[in-house]
Amino acid sequence: MMPRYLVDKISRKAVLLCALASFFILVLIVVFIFRDGMAGFIENGIGAFLFGTDWSLKRGEYGVGVMILGSISVTLGTIIIAAPLSITCAIFLAEIAPPEVREVVRPAIDLLVGIPSVVYGLMGMVWLVPLIRDHFGGGGYSLLAAIVVLTIMVLPTIISLSEDSLRSVPRHYKESALALGATDWQAIWRVLLPAARPGIVSAIILGMGRVIGESMACYMVIGNAFAFPSSVLDPSRTLTSNIVGQVEEAAYGSSHMHALFACGIVLLVFIFIFNSVSFTMGRREG
């Protein structure tokens, strides 16, 4: 029989090891992306890489200006549609829905999170793209198609996180409001929502992180043109769809591959910004 404190000691070490392992994996990923990606920045010049609009293997010029703009417009477009929809849905689930309804809807929404993104992309390609082409014009593969697909994808994430933060508001906040004579809606709008705001904002920003990082579904519907879109019906290209589209043809160690890794760095910076904003927002008030 092992002494109990020894078991304690060993299990503590084992848990520490696991925690360190995932941290080291993160460090390794960052190191490797930067090792190849920095070469991409240096070969092209940081300014030319970030703001250049020409991406051509033939001329050996790599600029991601179009793609950064594409990524930003897809992300903003998606959040503008997804945020109000999902917050309303979260309010419904947390405050208005009868328990029986919630018991069906909430697991369904959680299930939606797990559907692989290619499936969303495929549905977008087969149903949505022809629909947009026939009813709105253009080629169908467009910013709009990407925004719709990504909205559907990101809704469940924002809904479940917002609902959790609405539920974590202490009950007596709302009860006090009601006791002071507020209607149900006034209590939700003026008391509950402001109290849950940090959580909801961080849910939205995490959602933005998911949108900007989504690659496959986006690649399948956005059209991938190397040009600034002049309307939502024009095709565009994001940082992720650029990597998806070209990585198979890039020779390892070539400046093409370095440029693709540099796209990865730009994405990493975006995600880092989103996560830190979401982290600080979530912490405020507490």
Partner 1 sequence: MKVKRLLITLIILGSLLVAPTDSTMAAGDELSGTIKEDGSTSVLPLAEAFALRFMKLHPRVRVIYGGGGSGTGAKDCAKGQVDIGATSRELKISEADLISYPIARDGVAIIVHKDNPVDELSLGEVARVYAGEITNWEEVGGKSGKIRLYSREEGSGTRDVFESKVMKEKDISGRAYFKKSNGEIQTAVARDPGSIGYVSLGYIEGTKALSIEGVKCTVESCKKGDYPLVRRLYFHTKGTPDEPVKAFIDFCRSEEGQKIVEQLDYIPLTL
Interface residue with partner 1, options 224, 238, 240, 278 (CB under 8 A): 224
Q: How far is the CB of 133 from partner 1 (least distance, A)?
A: 7
Nearer to partner 1, 79 or 143 (CB): 143
60 near partner 1 (CB under 8 A): no
Q: How far is the CB of 229 from partner 1 (least distance, A)?
A: 10
Nearer to partner 1, 133 or 197 (CB): 133
Q: How far is the CB of 120 from partner 1 (least distance, A)?
A: 17
250 near partner 1 (CB under 8 A): yes
Applying CB under 8 A, the span of 24-32, 148-156, 175-183, 239-247 interacting with partner 1 comes to: 239-247
Amino acid at position 247, single letter: V
Which residues, 6+ apart, have CB-to-CB distance to 103 below 8 Å? none
121 near partner 1 (CB under 8 A): no
Interface residue with partner 1, options 6, 99, 172, 248 (CB under 8 A): 248
Q: End-to-end alpha-carbon separation of the chain, Å?
A: 46
Between the alpha carbon of residue 21 and those of residues 17, 24, 27, 94, the distances in Å are 6, 5, 10, 37
Strands 55-56 and 61-62 turn out to be antiparallel
Start-end of H helices in 45-170: 46-51, 65-91, 99-113, 117-123, 129-136, 143-167
Q: How far is the CB of 128 from partner 1 (least distance, A)?
A: 12
Which residues, 6+ apart, have CB-to-CB distance to 46 below 8 Å? none
Applying CB under 8 A, the span of 55-63, 75-83, 106-114, 145-153 interacting with partner 1 comes to: 55-63
Interface residue with partner 1, options 227, 231, 273, 280 (CB under 8 A): 227
Return the DSSP state at 59. Answer: T
| Tokens, residue 279 | 């982290």
Site for partner 1 in 184-223 (CB under 8 A): 219, 223
Interface residue with partner 1, options 246, 268, 271, 277 (CB under 8 A): 246
DSSP 212-256: HH--HHHHHHHB--SS--SSTTS-B--HHHHHHHHGGGPPTTSHH
141 near partner 1 (CB under 8 A): yes
What is the contact mask toward partner 1 in residues 80 to 119, using x (rule: CB under 8 A)? Answer: ----------------------------------------
Nearer to partner 1, 174 or 237 (CB): 237
Nearer to partner 1, 109 or 144 (CB): 144
Which residues, 6+ apart, have CB-to-CB distance to 161 below 8 Å? 199, 200, 202, 203, 206
3-state secondary structure of 69: helix
Matching residue, tokens 């920003």: 205
- Chain centre distance of CA 170: 29
Q: Can you give the binding site for partner 1, defined by CB under 8 A?
A: 56-58, 66, 130, 133, 139-141, 219, 223-227, 235, 237, 244-246, 248-252, 254, 256
